[in-house]
Amino acid sequence: MKRLRVLVTAGPTREPIDPVRFITNHSTGSMGYAIARCAHRLGHQVTLISGPASLAEPAGVKTIRIETAQEMYAEVKKHFLAHDSLVMAAAVSDFRPRQYSAKKLKTNSRTAFIQLKKNPDILQWAGKQKTKKIIVGFCMETENMFARALEKMCLKQADIIIANKISKFAMPFGPGRTDILLIGPDSLVQQFRKISKDKVARILLDKIADLWYKKHSCRCKQR
C-alpha cells in the first residue's frame, strides 16, 4: 500500500470576543484524532491541525495546535500542497466576532450585541485547489441531512462527505458511537449505525486510499 501524506483537522475553533470570552461549539476532536491515529497505524504520514481539545496527541503524528478558524486556515494553506489528502474533521466556527475587544466587555447593560463576520471556508478553499488530492468534509445537520450533505459536497468539491445527524436522540460529539452516512464519488451512499469512531476512521482511510489509486492510475483524468 502506498504511504499517503494525510492532513487532518480536528476539534472546535475558538473565536475570541474579549480576553475572557469566546464563541465555540461542542466538538471534542474525537473523530479527527481517531482518523489521525488510524492513519498513522496504517503507515501513512500524518499531520494533525487541532483546535482546543483535551485529548492526548497521537504518537507519531505531527500535531499543530491552533485556536481560531483563521489560524486553522493559515496552517491548512501552509501544509496543503505537501499532502495527498485533506480530512476536514474540525468543527470550524462559521462566524467570528467582527471586532475583538482588548478590554473585557462591560456587563452593565441589559442586552448586548455582538456583530459576527463570516470565517473563511477552509474546505471550500481546498476544493478549489485540490488537483488529484482527496478531500473529505464532514457535515452535521438537524434536518434534511442527506440533501444538505450533497449540496455541501458539490459546493465544496469534496470527494467524500461524512454526514452526522444531530437531535435529542443522537449526539455525535465525544468518543461514543455514532450514526453516519458516508457519501462517496458519484453520490454513492453507505449508512452505518452505532459505529465507533475508530471504525469510521478505518473505513474512511480505506476509501481515501482506493480513490487515490483511482485518480492516479494513468488513464484517470483530473477532476
Residues involved in catalysis: 25
What does R_g of the chain's alpha carbons equal in angstroms?
Answer: 18
Identify which of residues 61 and 149 has a Cβ nearer to ligand C5P in the complex: 149
Q: Which of 161, 152, 153 is nearest to 190 (CA)?
A: 161
Supply angle C-alpha 131, 63, 101, rounded to 5: 95
Enclosing H/E stretch for 15: strand 15-16
User: What is the phi/psi pair of residue 180, to 5°?
Assistant: -135, 160
Residue closer to ligand C5P by CB (options 125, 192) is 125
The least distance separating ligand C5P from the CB of residue 110, rounded to whole angstroms, comes to 32
**Interface residues toward ligand C5P, by CB under 6 A:** 69, 88, 90, 92, 94, 119, 121-123, 137-139, 152
Do residues 17 and 104 make contact, with C-beta atoms less than 8 angstroms apart? no
Q: Which residue has cell 504511504? A: 3
- 90 vs 209 by CB, closer to ligand C5P: 90
Residue 106 grid cell: 462591560
As measured in angstroms, the least distance from the Cβ of 123 to ligand C5P is 3
**Beta carbon of residue 68, minimum distance to ligand C5P (angstroms, whole number):** 11
Identity of the residue numbered 76: V
Which amino acid appears at position 47 of this protein? T
CB closer to ligand C5P, 123 vs 201: 123
